[in-house]
Amino acid sequence: MGSRKLTHLDERNRPTMVDVGAKAVTHRSAVAEARLRMPRAVGTALRRAGQRTKKGPVFDTAVVAGVMAAKRTHELIPFCHPLGLENCLIEIEQRSSVEIVVRCQVSVHHRTGVEMEALTGASVAALTIYDMCKALSHEICIEKVRLLGKTGGRRPFVRHKG
């Protein structure tokens, strides 16, 4: 980690919001992912039902929930800055009868990044899928919530395979 330090602590080690006032406004973007693993019978039932349950269209509802969550990240994570997101795209793919992948891509022109918004959007979309499918099984697992990449700040990031 070199000389990096935690950014949300002041000189007296008290929690604080980072002052971004002196930073340049740039185009910032981030992509995050969450994966769900489920018993084969659950995935098969979900696919056969066209991704619908008695609660409604699972993937469509998860998209709406993920976007809403990304827009409200600052209300959930204490030191996140409120941002007027310019774009939030949630994509959901049922890759097999045991895996669903949720991706959230967020962008804004601002002084601070949108990693937390992308992570929150992907996480809440995955939680919504869990909620709508839990009647089929509580063995559904949300796994690998992770940042895939970010641009626009001092340290761009791209996750390598793995």
* Catalytic residue positions, numbered: 131
Helix (H) or strand (E) holding 130: helix 115-133
Side chain identity, residue 135: A
Rounded Cα gap, residues 66 and 135, in angstroms: 21
User: CA-CA distance, 20 to 17, in Å (whole number)?
Assistant: 9
Hey, is 67 helix, strand or coil? helix
Residue 39 buriedness (CB in 10 A; 0-12 / 13-18 / 19+): middle
